[in-house]
C-alpha cells in the first residue's frame, strides 16, 4: 500500500487560526475616538465666533489627519482637513475657532452642527463625532457696543457763574504765566 501524505491544500475544516491579528486591528480602529468636549459661540459685529474644543482618544499619536465639517441649518458650509501634529510638546486636547461672516443674515434662531471624523483612503469614516447647537443670532452694530453715557452739553444756574472747559483752560494758562513771571522776578532781586 501507498503511504498517503496529508494534503497541503487547506480545507474548510482545517483553516489556520488568524482571527487574533485581524480582531486586534479592528479593535485598534474602534478604540480611537474623537470627543467633542465643548461648542460655544460669541456674537460679534456681523459675525459669529464659534469655539470647538475636542480631544483625541487614546492620544494624538493614533491620528494623523481628521476631517472637520461645519453645517449651518443642516447645510454644509465648510469642510476642512486638519493635520494632527505629532510633536512632543503638543497635547491631546485641541481647539478650533472658525468665524462665520453673518453679513446679510437676519436675526433669528439657527442651528450649527460640527462633524469630525477620520477619513480613510477608501472613503470610509471612522471615529466619527457630531455635536450641534442652537444659536439665537441678534446682529450687533458698532453703535450698540459702545457704553452709552450722556454728555453734559451745558450747565446753568440762578445767581451762579459756571465756567466752561475752554474758560477753565484759559484761566489755567493765565495762572501758569503769573507763576512763571513771579519765579523769574524773584531771582532778579
pLDDT in tens, 118-176: 888 777 888 889 999 999 988 776 655 554 444 444 444 444 455 667 877 888 899 99
Task: Indicate the domain borders of the chain.
Answer: 30-145
pLDDT in tens, 36-79: 999 999 887 778 888 888 888 877 677 777 888 889 888 888 88
3-state secondary structure of 123: coil
Cell for 155? 450747565
CA distances to 27, 70, 110, 111 from 76, rounded to whole Å, are 31, 6, 13, 12
CA distances to 1, 9, 14, 23 from 6, rounded to whole Å, are 15, 9, 12, 30
pLDDT in tens, 150-162: 444 444 444 445 5
The answer to whether residues 72 and 110 touch, using CB atoms and an 8 Å cutoff, is yes
What is the pTM (predicted TM-score) of this model?
Answer: 0.57
What kind of fold does domain 30-145 have according to CATH?
Immunoglobulin-like (2.60.40)
Q: Work out the pLDDT band at 85, boundaries 50, 70, 90.
A: confident
CA distances to 66, 103, 168 from 69, rounded to whole Å, are 10, 21, 62
CA distances to 1, 7, 8, 14 from 4, rounded to whole Å, are 9, 9, 12, 18
Amino acid at each position: 500500500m501507498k503511504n498517503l501524505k496529508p494534503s497541503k491544500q487547506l480545507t474548510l475544516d482545517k483553516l489556520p487560526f488568524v482571527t487574533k491579528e485581524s480582531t486586534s486591528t479592528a479593535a485598534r480602529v474602534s478604540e480611537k475616538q474623537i470627543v467633542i468636549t465643548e461648542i460655544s459661540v460669541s456674537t460679534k459685529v456681523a459675525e459669529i465666533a464659534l469655539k470647538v474644543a475636542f480631544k483625541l482618544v487614546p492620544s494624538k499619536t493614533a491620528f494623523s489627519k481628521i476631517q472637520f465639517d461645519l453645517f449651518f441649518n443642516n447645510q454644509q458650509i465648510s469642510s476642512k482637513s486638519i493635520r494632527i501634529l505629532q510633536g512632543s510638546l503638543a497635547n491631546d486636547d485641541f481647539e478650533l475657532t472658525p468665524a462665520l461672516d453673518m453679513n446679510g443674515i437676519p436675526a433669528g434662531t439657527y442651528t450649527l452642527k460640527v462633524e469630525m471624523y477620520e477619513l480613510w483612503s477608501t472613503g470610509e469614516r471612522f471615529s466619527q463625532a457630531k455635536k450641534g447647537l442652537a444659536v439665537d443670532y441678534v446682529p450687533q452694530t458698532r453703535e450698540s457696543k459702545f457704553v452709552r453715557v450722556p454728555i453734559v452739553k451745558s450747565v446753568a444756574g440762578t445767581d451762579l457763574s459756571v465756567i466752561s472747559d475752554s474758560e477753565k483752560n484759559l484761566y489755567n494758562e493765565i495762572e501758569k504765566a503769573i507763576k512763571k513771571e513771579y519765579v523769574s522776578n524773584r531771582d532778579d532781586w
